[in-house]
Amino acid sequence: MTTSAEKITLIAGNAHRDLAGAISRQLSIPLASAHFGRFPDGEIDLKVNEDIRGTDCFVIQPTCPPVNENIIELLLLLDCLKRASAGRITAVLPYYGYARKDRKDEGRVPISAKVVANTLIGCGADRVLTLDMHAAQIQGFFDIPVDHLYAKPVLLSKIRALEIENPMIVSPDVGGIKMARAYAKGLDNCDLAIVDKRRISGSQVAVEHVIGDVEGRNVIIVDDMISTGGSITEAARIVRSHGARKVVLAVTHGVLVGGAVEKIDAAPIDKLLITDSIPPQARMPRCAEIVSIAPLIARAIANIHRNESVSSLFDECPV
């Protein structure tokens, strides 16, 4: 007989039901029954239909577009569980929205990532599980445990399966060097190059040059996210112009807004590997292949529930 202290409950918002379902199947634990409705003015009305008193609750809700809608739904779920006397509440955010503003880079601006962190804690989160934050230092905004996973083992497994000859890892900007170096190490310490860019605006970049020799190499450009696609498609063009043979993109979060799909389709890209941390768009780039993070998230949830190491998942690929 399972006691309430041993019981695990999975609850999914509406941001990504397919991913939540895949995680549920990996764990062989059904998603808890919940009602999601609307008041006449559009406000969210929800109720969890099961007794969760004293249970270990995991709320699966990436804060992807529509960001504000999904964040509010997550906050209401957290408050609901706290008031229903859940034993422990873990907010599972495969994609953490509002992560771009992690500091005051000019006067009279908010630190949006900190606001979200404070609000998650205030609404009842005891722990956060997330994947490839846009700025890893956001973990420091929380005074509760944060388990920060990386999609690297999942994407690396798929990259190896492609059997790319003479590979070279490329970072699309200086800020991504640490991630790129980790991928290069995972591919038997293959060579690394960096695209030097200058950002003009939130959607425009000017690529200056490439640090490293990509001529004749099969290039793998790695990044944490594609938003408008301007940065990474320009990186693809410049490595091609410097003699790269093939260009493969390996990206964690496919936000894909502002004409990103069209930009990728028009760019000299042979393949795009992208995880399902965000629901796929109705129209995806022709070269896109979805790689599921459900096994990774499921293993992390199981380890957290059993009070086992999560860092053991940083370099292995759960299957």
Catalytic site residues?
Answer: 197
Measure the N-to-C terminal CA separation of the chain; round to a whole number of Å. Answer: 28
Q: Which stretch of DSSP H or E encloses residue 80?
A: helix 67-83
Per the CB < 8 A criterion, the answer to whether 27 and 298 are in contact is: yes
Per the CB < 8 A criterion, the answer to whether 101 and 112 are in contact is: yes
Centroid of chain to Cα 17? 15
Per the CB < 8 A criterion, the answer to whether 156 and 186 are in contact is: yes
Instruction: Work out whether the CA dihedral 151, 156, 162, 164 comes out positive or negative.
Output: positive
CA distance 292 to 290: 6
CA distance 243 to 206: 19
- Based on DSSP, count helices (H) and strands (E) in the chain, helices before strands: 8, 14
Residue 234 Rama label (left phi>0; alpha psi -120 to 50; beta): alpha
Instruction: Work out whether the CA dihedral 179, 185, 187, 189 comes out positive or negative.
Output: positive
CA distance 40 to 26: 37
Of 57, 58, 27, 33, the residue nearest 46 (C-alpha) = 33
Of 239, 301, 310, 313, the residue nearest 270 (C-alpha) = 239
